[in-house]
Amino acid sequence: MYEEQLAELDKSSIPLYSLYGQIDSAAELQFLHLETLESRNRFYDWNIRPHRHHDLHQIVWVEDGGGNVILDDKRLEPAGPVLINIPPSTVHGFQWRPGAQGFVLTISESFMTDLFGQTADPAIEMSLGQVLVVTQYGAQSVAKLTMLFASLMDEYTHERLGRATTVSGYVLVLLAEITRLRQLSQREVLAAHMYGGELYHGFKELVEAHFRDHWSVAAYARALRVTDRSLRRLSLKFSDQTPVQIIHRRLLLEAKRNLLYTEKSIAAVGYILGFDDPAYFTRFFIRNAGETPLQFRRGRMGATVR
């Protein structure tokens, strides 16, 4: 089923939507949308094809049911209860089993930035900036998430005094709860409270903005006003990776996205990622992925979930 869906995708780019099925446009400044899992999935026969949002953040809560999930180059088969955090530009697709119960919360990136500012807690912004799939909880966490989404839906669907304030409050509590869940298994979230965490986060933001430009580590260090050695030390402290490894992993992720979800030639994928020489792109991919771009494309397309 998913091979057919991928074949129908735009031949040159990954579909970019505002909400699924609606061609992308700039999200409203304070945009927030909440719907049941069933409402949109049922309309599309429970098959949401791989796509991404430019400036929308999504949080999916599946209380009951399960199915197949695509997140960039990963294929998962989670069963509820499962919570999925999807930052902007992450390729995602779902094939839930009919009748799955839950909610999909969509928030504009600008609104998320405002919310992060209200928390003044870098751990929340750092954790929500990463793809997260939570499948194991204590009973208390499941009850709390169920209550939060139910309460949020109640406020969202009724025009009451203080509605915007209450909705924002529930979302802030939800973001904090997601951060706590991530904190149980992710060392990087803890790094936000440690000395240098803000600087490390700044480095990750610069990588996101300039990985296609092939900045050197020295260029990133200059932009952050630190030495190369200090940047390396912070990077190892917070991620167990060198700055070069972080840069290359981001470049590799974007290469995999394009190889999987577009029909661009391998040379074209390399070119849009800043590689003028296709042979150099292939060597880079082999060194970091352990196989050629063509082998990756053929192997992953053949293993796509059904």
254: Cα separation from own chain's centroid? 12
- pLDDT classification of 153: cutoffs 50, 70, 90: very high
Q: Give backbone dihedrals phi and psi of 48, rounded to 5 degrees, phi first.
A: -100, 110
Answer for the pair 270, 278: CB distance below 8 angstroms, yes or no: yes
Answer for the pair 135, 182: CB distance below 8 angstroms, yes or no: no
- pLDDT classification of 240: cutoffs 50, 70, 90: confident
Which range, of 159-173, 215-229, 282-296, averages the lowest pLDDT?
Answer: 159-173
Task: Please indicate whether residue 113 or residue 1 has the higher confidence score (pLDDT).
Answer: 113
Output the pTM of the full model. Answer: 0.63
Average pLDDT over residues 261-273: 91
- Say how far apart CA 5 and CA 260 lie, in whole Å: 12
Answer for the pair 50, 9: CB distance below 8 angstroms, yes or no: yes
Partner residues linked to 67 by β-bridges: 96
Task: Please indicate whether residue 73 or residue 249 has the higher confidence score (pLDDT).
Answer: 249
CA nearest 83: which of 31, 125, 33, 133?
133
Q: Give backbone dihedrals phi and psi of 152, rounded to 5 degrees, phi first.
A: -65, -40
- Say how far apart CA 297 and CA 180 lie, in whole Å: 36
Task: Please indicate whether residue 293 or residue 137 has the higher confidence score (pLDDT).
Answer: 293
One-letter amino acid of 137: Y
15-72, pLDDT tens digit by residue?
Answer: 444 444 443 433 343 578 899 988 888 888 888 888 888 888 999 999 999 899 999 8
191-219, pLDDT tens digit by residue?
Answer: 444 567 778 888 998 999 999 999 999 99
